[in-house]
Amino acid sequence: MAARARRRVIVGPVGTPLADLGLSSSTGDADLEALVREVLGHHPAADAEAIRRAHRYADDKHRDQMRHSGEPYITHPLGVARIAAGLGLDPETIQAALLHDVVEDTGASREDIEAAFGPQVAALVDGVTKLTRIHFESQEERQAENYRKLIISMSSDIRVLLVKLCDRLHNMRTLSYMRKS
């Protein structure tokens, strides 16, 4: 397998290259470029490089994680972002979709996301993370809390809910890889 050349990529407003942060990309570029094309189809003035940076950041942070299918974990955030892009959601929401599990599943913080991608993307990722964190004992408690969280998220930024719904949809589309128990 041929070694991939490292690209110098600028991250966020501080301009720190990913390589300087010890980050690299481990997945193929075809799916990413299909995502970028889809976003640009809806938003021609979108910053395609910002979407690529979000993908590379998530790819690196999730590099040691695998899906139940045996695929690299990055296939999930990329799938979530493709669903969001198909809905015509804005580029910041696409970045948040790519990054939606980074705070919850890796050592990255909201502050890290904000420094690299700005406050709007960080707020979206933070909102999705908060929607995911609360767990309850009974089905009734879970249902009531899910409705409460949906209403709260809709009142602050509907895009949080849309990313979470794209996340759930992608998980449901890949249920065949889960154990039956």
What is the domain partition of the chain in residue ranges? 28-177
Q: pLDDT digits over 149-164, tens only?
A: 766 765 678 899 899 9
Q: What are the catalytic residues?
A: 104-105
**Amino acid letter, residue 100:** H
Q: Name which CATH class applies to 28-177.
A: mainly alpha
Residues 139-145, mean pLDDT to the nearest whole number: 76
Average of per-residue pLDDT values in the chain: 81
Residues 6 or more apart in contact with residue 35 via CB below 8 angstroms = 51, 55, 78, 81, 82, 85, 94
